[in-house]
Amino acid sequence: MSFRYYWEDFPAGRVFDYGSRRLTEAEIIAFARDWDPQRFHTDPAAAKQTPFGGLVASGWHTSCVMMRFMCDAYLDESSCVGSPGIEEWRFVLPVRPGDTLRYRATVLEARPSSSKPDRGIVKWHWELLNQKDEVAVSMVGTQFFLRRP
């Protein structure tokens, strides 16, 4: 199988900027009802009485948006063979109804695997930014990619 992106295509410093998605109140509530039914995600009136002062998207929801952007930006066309996990995950700013989100991924480090010569390791800084270019979600994690044959 041939891929657009192999490990060699992710040198340190490479940046992917991708996407634009506006989250609606209905979408935020629908996700939260199924997956994170806290009052500040599901009930606009009750959310006004919380420190958020209004409805906010679940961090799980925003992270799912980030994952979709990641897949569309490069992952679905890559030789990725998994991830050992996420080292850091921060919900920096609340995401509110009407916010428009975009994705930025920056390669922090890329190195060949010492135990599996057919693959390499890429450490990333993934961010979800709002319409003001403020970081709403920040993650640092690693992915494994096959090397170019």
30 forms bridges with which residues in the sheet?
none
Closest CA to 99 of 125, 147, 134: 134
33-68 pLDDT per residue, tens: 999 999 999 999 999 999 999 999 999 999 999 999
CATH at residue 109? 3.10.129.10
Residue 71 structure tokens? 């897949």
Closest CA to 33 of 49, 50, 57: 57
Sign of the dihedral through C-alpha 129, 135, 138, 142: positive
Whether residue 25 lies inside any domain: the answer is yes
Please state, in angstroms and rounded to a whole number, the distance separating the CA atoms of residues 70 and 10. Answer: 14
- What predicted TM-score, i.e. pTM, was given to this entire model? 0.95
What contacts 142, CB < 8 A, 6 or more positions away? 83, 84, 85, 87, 121, 122, 123, 124
Whether residue 71 lies inside any domain: the answer is yes
Whether residue 2 lies inside any domain: the answer is no
Please state, in angstroms and rounded to a whole number, the distance separating the CA atoms of residues 3 and 145. Answer: 11
Four-point Cα dihedral 109, 115, 116, 119, nearest 10? 0
Q: For residue 56, give Cα distances in angstroms to 47, 51, 92, 98, 144.
A: 8, 11, 13, 10, 33
Whether residue 72 lies inside any domain: the answer is yes
| Domain range enclosing 56 | 7-146
pLDDT range class, residue 1, cuts 50, 70, 90: confident
88-145 pLDDT per residue, tens: 999 999 999 999 999 999 999 999 999 999 999 999 999 999 999 999 999 999 999 9
What domain count does the chain have? Answer: 1
The yes-or-no verdict on residue 7 having pLDDT over 90 is yes
